[in-house]
Chains A and B, each alone.
Chain A
């Protein structure tokens, strides 16, 4: 005589009730406003980035001697002008926030383990913060002809002592 197997019903949710906890939404509602703002930001920053990036590419690669003119002195010249400082700052911040938020959504969409997702987001936020801070510092404190301990260490075009 065979024993009847212990069959519970319905099987996939028998341990936990009707809907398995994997599917019950936690912390619903609260962060919807943020997700909406992020969605809007992606579109608005995208529009501004089109202007900033193509303006940047045009000025760097096409105008004057074009791509052959790019060197240390070219960058130094651009950053001597507040217009280009603010242009590059806007491009840096928008691209970094836009790119970081885009990668955030990709992580949320594809990382299925909570711990993996958490650590990927930590790495992303740390990297984005570091690049934004460093980039901002460089744009505003850039000095092509620094004098370190009384020694002039700049490029050829710097005033010689």
Chain B
């Protein structure tokens, strides 16, 4: 028996050309996070954290590092960490994005990276906002299939062309990045908001659905599609790349077409 302990049998020797985890470059970033804790103070303030992060890290990883290693009281939502659940929309360097889809290396790391809660919804703590008003508007446009007549015994078939008509708006993950990027929504929170219209669009243009007229009626409201000023903030914010402004104008046209 030799005194030296053998390497674990499972270790795979990689040639230097392939590269290993250690080769990922690291860099220092400063994270400026908007903090709010109603149990301590009614005022929010900025906290700065200096972190050493990897080139493969995202803003979400930086927030994790803060929460797990520096300040456990930092509060934010995240679930899937892979851009699917829509829970970690936040305002990063002044733009709405998902923390889990924003690589640190794509941001300007020479300056502090600011992270704030999305605007226009009541902040509950740190980066967590009350999403209830957002979901209320979503519920109002009836985001479910409504049909008339007898239910078929088989699945409801649809041609690829008919499916294509509303494909873009099926991709929404209800992150609220769009609605909370809209200045019209910021003002008084009365506007239905882009996300509700996107999800109405998904059913209005679905050939299998029969309640399109009802949804158009709901959105032909004082606070409905006509409040849209075609600012395009929503299209820019959407992490799923949905052409939100285009969907809204298609709904506007459908409301008009119904009248004449």
A, B in one complex: yes
Residues of A within 8 A of B (CB): 5, 7, 10-13, 18-20, 22-25, 27-36, 38-40, 105, 108-112
Closest to A110 in B: B187
Partner of A30, one of B217, B222, B255: B222
Chain A residues, CB < 8 A from B189: 22-23
Chain A residues, CB < 8 A from B226: 32, 35-36, 38-39
Chain B residues, CB < 8 A from A20: 122, 130, 133
A28, B124: Cβ atoms closer than 8 Å:
no
With an 8 Å Cβ cutoff, the count of chain B residues facing the other chain is 29
Closest to A31 in B: B222
Q: Is B188 close to A, CB under 8 A?
A: yes
Chain A residues, CB < 8 A from B105: none
Chain A residues, CB < 8 A from B132: 10, 13, 18-19
Q: Whole-angstrom distance between the alpha carbons of A112 and B183 in the complex?
A: 11
Q: Whole-angstrom distance between the alpha carbons of A5 and B38 in the complex?
A: 11
Q: Whole-angstrom distance between the alpha carbons of A19 and B138 in the complex?
A: 13
A12, B256: Cβ atoms closer than 8 Å:
no
B120-158 vs A, CB cutoff 8 Å, 1 = contact: the mask equals: 001111000010110010000000000000000000000
Whether A36 touches B220, Cβ cut-off 8 Å, given contacts A11-B124, A20-B122, A109-B187, is yes
Q: Is B4 close to A, CB under 8 A?
A: no
Shortest Cβ distance from residue A124 to the other chain B in the assembled complex, whole angstroms: 17
Chain A residues, CB < 8 A from B224: 32, 35
Chain B residues, CB < 8 A from A24: 136
Whether A10 touches B229, Cβ cut-off 8 Å, given contacts A32-B222, A32-B224, is no
Q: Whole-angstrom distance between the alpha carbons of A157 and B255 in the complex?
A: 57
B183, A29: Cβ atoms closer than 8 Å:
no
Partner of B221, one of A7, A25, A105: A25
Partner of A109, one of B124, B184, B217, B252: B184
A105, B229: Cβ atoms closer than 8 Å:
yes
A39, B252: Cβ atoms closer than 8 Å:
yes
Closest to B129 in A: A12
B59-78 vs A, CB cutoff 8 Å, 1 = contact: the mask equals: 00000000000000000000
Indicate the member of B125, B187, B222 with the most A CB atoms within 10 Å.
Answer: B222
Shortest Cβ distance from residue B236 to the other chain A in the assembled complex, whole angstroms: 18
**5 A-B contacts, Cβ less than 8 Å apart?**
A5-B39, A25-B221, A36-B255, A39-B252, A109-B227
Closest to B219 in A: A32
A112, B188: Cβ atoms closer than 8 Å:
yes
Whether A13 touches B39, Cβ cut-off 8 Å, given contacts A25-B223, A112-B187, is no
Chain A residues, CB < 8 A from B123: 12
Shortest Cβ distance from residue A160 to the other chain B in the assembled complex, whole angstroms: 57
Chain A residues, CB < 8 A from B259: 36
B201-234 vs A, CB cutoff 8 Å, 1 = contact: the mask equals: 0000000000000000100111110110100000
Shortest Cβ distance from residue B230 to the other chain A in the assembled complex, whole angstroms: 11
B172-202 vs A, CB cutoff 8 Å, 1 = contact: the mask equals: 0000000000011001111000000000000
B220, A32: Cβ atoms closer than 8 Å:
yes
B130, A13: Cβ atoms closer than 8 Å:
yes
Shortest Cβ distance from residue B63 to the other chain A in the assembled complex, whole angstroms: 21
Q: Whole-angstrom distance between the alpha carbons of A30 and B217 in the complex?
A: 11
Indicate the member of A22, A23, A25, A30 with the most B CB atoms within 10 Å.
Answer: A23
Partner of B122, one of A13, A33, A40, A110: A13
Q: Whole-angstrom distance between the alpha carbons of A29 and B222 in the complex?
A: 6
Q: Whole-angstrom distance between the alpha carbons of A41 and B122 in the complex?
A: 35
Chain A residues, CB < 8 A from B255: 36
